[in-house]
Amino acid sequence: KNEVEQSPQNLTAQEGEFITINCSYSVGISALHWLQQHPGGGIVSLFMLSSGKKKHGRLIATINIQEKHSSLHITASHPRDSAVYICAVPMYSGGGADGLTFGKGTHLIIQP
């Protein structure tokens, strides 16, 4: 069963700063998910990636399969980026659409 570690747990930064959130997992996977959770509890899927790098607007996600590590970057951060960012991987190794196991999340606050 996969385990996920995220860091940092909390992060406060000034508007415009470059943000990095890290995620490590224990078991080889087919894909890793980055999710965003807003204060009301709603969850939005940001990225699903299995190799390399993906970019969407100011968000960039990278993954190193050999190292079992992924990073989420936010460029030119803005107060509206304030949320909890969660890394998730399939609960079990191998392919197939498994349920996910989640990191504890990174509480990000961007101050104006």
Partner 1 sequence: SAVISQKPSRDICQRGTSLTIQCQVDSQVTMMFWYRQQPGQSLTLIATANQGSEATYESGFVIDKFPISRPNLTFSTLTVSNMSPEDSSIYLCSVVRGRSADTQYFGPGTRLTVL
Residues at the interface with partner 1 (CB under 8 A): 29-31, 33, 35, 41-45, 48, 50, 86, 88, 90-91, 95-105
Rounded Cα–Cα distance for residues 30 and 12 (Å): 32
> In the bound complex, what is the minimum distance in angstroms from residue 15's beta carbon to partner 1?
27
> In the bound complex, what is the minimum distance in angstroms from residue 74's beta carbon to partner 1?
20
> Looking at beta carbons only, is 59 or 88 nearer to partner 1?
88
> In the bound complex, what is the minimum distance in angstroms from residue 58's beta carbon to partner 1?
20
Kindly calculate the radius of gyration of the chain based on its CA atoms and give it in whole angstroms. Answer: 13
The answer to whether 65 touches 42, Cβ cutoff 8 Å, is no
Residue with tokens 């990191």: 103
